[in-house]
Structure 1
Amino acid sequence: MTTLDENNVLVGDIYNGKVYKIGTTNGTYGPLLSDPKMRFPSSAPHQSRHTLRRTPVGASEVVVDNVPRADDFVFKSDGSIWVAQNQWDELSVVPVGATQATLVAGSNISTTLAGVTSGHFGRTPEDRDILYLATSGALGLPINGTVVVAGSIVKIDTASFRLPTPEPDDECDKDW
């Protein structure tokens, strides 16, 4: 779910491959977008496509296809996409122009982001780089099969985040 404007919200329906527009002041609602490619297969587990899609005026297209268990995502002001991966207890980022997601926080053996479900960036100049994340405590898929913790709000400062630069491989530079 996301805010469209002061009078409307958008709600995603993965079961039917639709996005609904809901009027918060007048109670109106209806499908804004319907795309069968956004619907998960009935014979596969929830979130099985592992894709993020964007829909320009026209057909949707795959932006990234390596984001397992993506539950929700949010755009940062720089255009990067931050993805909450609920059942993997992880947070990934897709920088502008990238085609692969990069893990930045969490682990399926850690309670730090246990069941991370959604995120939102701060709205003031002081916290615009702070990503606030809601967690379920891993209720849907307990950590190590048994560990469930209290849900929480976690904040991550993304201001200094940079993708790591690969170190040169000295072994490859040797003259054998």
Structure 2
Amino acid sequence: MHSSFFFTFSALVASVATGAVINPRYGSPWTTVKDHRLIYQFPNGTTVENIAVRSNGNILVTLTSSPELYEIDPFNPKTPKLIHHFSGNLALLGITEVSPDVFTLNAGNFSAETGLSPGSWAVWQVAFHNEQTKISKVTDIPEAQFLNGMTTLESTPNTILTADSAGGVVYSVNTHTGEYKVALENDIFKPAPGAPLPIGVNGIRYLDGYVYYTNSFDPLFGRVPVSKSGYAVGDYKTILTGVFGDDFAVTPQAAYVAGNPANVITEIKLDGENKAIAGNINSTLVAGATSVHFGRTIRDKRVLYVTTTGTVNATFVEGGKVVALDLY
């Protein structure tokens, strides 16, 4: 989300977020960040929202400060390649790989000046093939108020799930036909009463028959078992409360949650145990961390890439960036 919004968000939590940097000792059950490095930093005023990784290892990032999708080679991170400027929109948000080298993303009108623009949201497809890129609209979702996190429903071909943060629902979208419908709806997805911004469910990820999710202003991390079509087939279970979460990566053992605006990455075990493994409330290491994704090549399979807004405590602003955390 736009940095001006995160000034507000950061100010709300700066007084309550912990300042401790967790550095688990070697041999502990917790992941340790053994090294970190800057992959690329965008100019001031740029907010990086979400991340996906291609099979060739290149990173794709969406921006909320402009409706642009960039590609970055993490092993040779010179000037990023602009893949596409989505004219007619103000921001891009969630992105996911729906089939090999074919990605979908959320685009719509959202900015610090205009706020949320219900009815402006659509899902787009970006397909890479032999150095060529094809951009096409999958569908408009006029009922959506603010499409944010996105994940691939791996149990059903050509299907993604996308979270409407303001509407408090998750849509399933057939990326071939453009057909969409509400797949998940629960009070736990809705914006918290009195929230300064109308944002509830934020990041979502599908893994092994479950949809995992965060809620921004009722800070929680949870999961729900789903059918092959993405409908709930069991209870919505809250795994952890009180930890601010944006988008995240999830494995069978743990989730790695971008803690915007607490400026941390939190490892959350599926029993709710949790520790911050990088950053702290005053740190610029992952300033305004928005999303994370593991590398996909032999060289970086233990690297967690982090995107940021560049905002710390509503007082410090830098250009959004991509940071690599080497984990062990």
Tell me if TM exceeds 0.5: yes
Query: What residue is the counterpart of 1:84 in the other structure?
Result: 258
1:7-26 aligned at under 5 Å gives the runs 7-26=158-177
Letter in 1 for 2:239: V
CA positional deviation for 1:118: 0.7
Letter in 2 for 1:54: R
Partner Cα distance (2:248, 2:185) in 1: 19
CA positional deviation for 1:131: 1.1
- Moved segments of 4+, more than 6 Å: none
Is contact 1:122–1:130 with CA below 8 Å preserved after alignment?
yes
Identify which of 259, 269, 291 aligns with 1:95: 269
1:146-157 aligned at under 5 Å gives the runs 146-157=315-326
SS at match of 1:55: strand
* Cα-to-partner distance string for 1:45-90 (whole Å, 9 max, x where unaligned): 352211112112222011111312x1112113x4211110111111
What TM-score, normalized by structure 1, do the two folds share?
Answer: 0.77
Gaps of 5+ in 2: 1-149, 198-215, 226-232
Query: What residue is the counterpart of 1:43 in the other structure?
Result: 194
1:38-77 aligned at under 5 Å gives the runs 38-46=189-197, 47-56=216-225, 57-68=233-244, 70-76=245-251
Letter in 1 for 2:217: S
Higher-strand-fraction structure: 2
Query: What residue is the counterpart of 1:3 in the other structure?
Result: 152
CA positional deviation for 1:24: 2.7
* Cα-to-partner distance string for 1:22-49 (whole Å, 9 max, x where unaligned): 2333322221111112212231235221
CA positional deviation for 1:136: 1.4
Partner Cα distance (2:182, 2:297) in 1: 32
Query: What residue is the counterpart of 1:114 in the other structure?
Result: 287
Partner Cα distance (1:112, 1:58) in 2: 38
How many residue pairs get aligned? The number is 152
Letter in 1 for 2:152: T
Partner Cα distance (1:86, 1:15) in 2: 18
CA positional deviation for 1:13: 2.0
CA positional deviation for 1:148: 0.7
Q: Percent identity?
A: 34
Partner Cα distance (1:71, 1:134) in 2: 11
Query: What residue is the counterpart of 2:278 in the other structure?
Result: 105
Is contact 1:16–1:36 with CA below 8 Å preserved after alignment?
no
Letter in 2 for 1:92: T
Partner Cα distance (1:29, 1:128) in 2: 34
What TM-score, normalized by structure 2, do the two folds share?
Answer: 0.43
Q: Which has the higher contact order (CA 8 A, sep 6+)?
A: 2
SS at match of 1:63: strand
* Cα-to-partner distance string for 1:80-119 (whole Å, 9 max, x where unaligned): 11110111111100124x3232111112212111111011
SS at match of 1:87: coil
Gaps of 5+ in 1: 161-176
